[in-house]
Amino acid sequence: KQLSQILPAIRQHLRLSNLRGLWIDKNDCHNSEYGDPEDNYLSFVTGFMGSQGLALILMDRAYIFVDGRYTLQAAKEVDLGSFEIKNYKRKIIQEFCEELNLKDEPIGFLSTALTLEQYGFYKDLCALRAMDETCLSSLWQDRPAKKYYPISDYPISFAGKSRDAKIQDLQMTCQKAGVDGVF
């Protein structure tokens, strides 16, 4: 879909979900600053290609928060008729949310894209509601294909011990602690 069609589709989803808005963070489920293109929902929704950013889509307005490194880039890549650029500083985001009176408003977020620490910050700004990423992935018709990479052993010269030796050490530690296993 074209960027001009994405915001109305997101807003329709928000209406049906009884949400006032949606946070879209640049991070992926691995908290990667430079994640794979197929996980970059921020870029998909806004057009912004920088390595850090955050969007807040509300029913009547949309904002993108970027730090000083990306102000000029965002102005070139983002549709300024659809998004207002804001500074990506926690204090500014907090004051902005207070100004919009979001404290008790239900705002969605992609459950795979926030760290626990980020969740703690945002939950103090609004009534967070976890959303599955299908609300956005269903709109992303030309989404890049997921890449899979082979798994290989990390060289012992760097790891210090073989995988088997580390597993045995862990099993012994669990046995001494009287536990069945660890995550």
User: 130, 129, 126: which is closest to 102 by C-alpha?
Assistant: 126
Which residues lie closer than 8 Å to 26 by C-beta, 6 or more apart? 33, 40, 42, 50, 51, 52, 53, 54
Give backbone dihedrals phi and psi of 16, rounded to 5 degrees, phi first: -65, -25
3-class secondary-structure state, position 52: coil
Maximum Cα–Cα distance across the chain: 62
Structure confidence at residue 3 (pLDDT): 65
Residue 174, beta-bridge partner list: none
Of residues 149 and 74, more confidence is placed in 74
Q: How far apart are CA 33 and CA 137, in angstroms?
A: 20
Going across the sheet that includes 54-58, the strands are 84-87, 62-66, 54-58, 21-25, 106-110, 127-131
108 touches 19 (CB < 8 A): yes
Model pTM score? 0.80
Structure confidence at residue 160 (pLDDT): 93
Report the run of H or E that residue 84 belongs to, with start and end: strand 84-87
- Based on its alpha-carbon atoms, the radius of gyration of the chain, rounded to whole angstroms, reads 20
pLDDT digits (tens, 9 = 90+) for 120-151: 898 899 999 998 888 888 888 888 888 888 98
With cut-offs at 50, 70 and 90, classify the pLDDT of residue 2: low
pLDDT higher than 80, residue 180: yes
What is the distance, to the nearest Å, from the Cα of residue 57 to the centroid of all Cα atoms in its chain? 14
**Mean of all residue pLDDT scores within the chain:** 90
Give backbone dihedrals phi and psi of 61, rounded to 5 degrees, phi first: -145, 165
Cα separations (Å) of 124 from 29, 42, 87, 94, 120? Answer: 22, 22, 19, 9, 7
